[in-house]
Amino acid sequence: MLRGSKVGLRARYEEDIPVLRTELYDDVVGASRAEGVPWRPITPGSNDPRLVVDDKQQGSVPFSVVELDGGTLVGTATLWGIDNHHRSAHIGLGMLPSCRGKGYGTDVVAVLCHYGFVVRGLRRLQIETLADNTAMLRSAERNGFVREGVLRSSHWAMGEFLDEVVLGLLAEEWKPDVKG
């Protein structure tokens, strides 16, 4: 497990899947804002790739996020779009609604930076988030990410187009305070 100050990132367990399905993916508004595709219900027991990990797939590394005190599941984290030639990847995370606003997101981003830069040897990490997602913007900027641009009206969610912010962080700009 990778450890931050508040959370750990570990493999996805079978018992995580029903919780994630109910609390993250069955939330039409939240899933519509987080995903790049229209929301649709997930059949219980299906092998939906957002939930069930395919260890053979090398371009994405999904984690379950747990509290260090007690091991309670609090969300998901993913290093995705991994490009070994350009040594870059994207960061994504989703916190369970009851676990938002507790500083977990900032810690998750820090641990993913450690994983990307130290464990994987990447040079650049990128985050794309909706312009009104102040929690994600704050978590990214607290970890040194820089706003690189705005993709105007690029995300369709719940009947409207929304702006996305692109943030980037280079390995030499990163200031680690996370121990793996």
Torsional sign, CA 134, 136, 141, 143:
positive
* pLDDT of 180: 42
Give the pair of three-digit tokens for residue 108. Answer: 């998750």
* pLDDT of 52: 76
Angle at 157 between CA 153 and CA 159, to 5 degrees: 90
Residue indicated by tokens 């960061």: 91
Residue 9 CA from chain centroid, whole number: 11
Instruction: Please check whether residue 91 is in contact with residue 73, taking contact to mean a CB–CB distance below 8 angstroms.
Output: no
In tens, the pLDDT along 82-108 reads: 999 999 999 999 999 999 999 999 999
User: Shortest CA distance to 5 belongs to which of 102, 133, 99?
Assistant: 102
User: Shortest CA distance to 167 belongs to which of 112, 120, 119, 121?
Assistant: 112
* Helix, coil or strand: residue 179: coil
Local confidence pLDDT in tens for the 180 residues of the chain: 999 999 999 999 999 998 988 888 888 888 888 887 888 887 777 777 677 777 777 889 999 999 999 999 999 999 999 999 999 999 999 999 999 999 999 999 999 999 999 999 999 999 999 999 999 999 999 999 999 999 999 999 989 999 999 999 999 999 987 444
Instruction: Please check whether residue 64 is in contact with residue 9, taking contact to mean a CB–CB distance below 8 angstroms.
Output: yes
Return the H-helix or E-strand segment holding 29: helix 28-34
Residue 85 CA from chain centroid, whole number: 22
Give the pair of three-digit tokens for residue 169. Answer: 């962080």
What is the residue type of 15?
E
Phi-psi region of 81 (alpha: psi -120 to 50; beta: other; left: phi over 0): left
- Whole-number Å distance between alpha carbons of 64 and 62: 7
Q: What is the dotted CATH code of the domain comprising 2-173?
A: 3.40.630.30
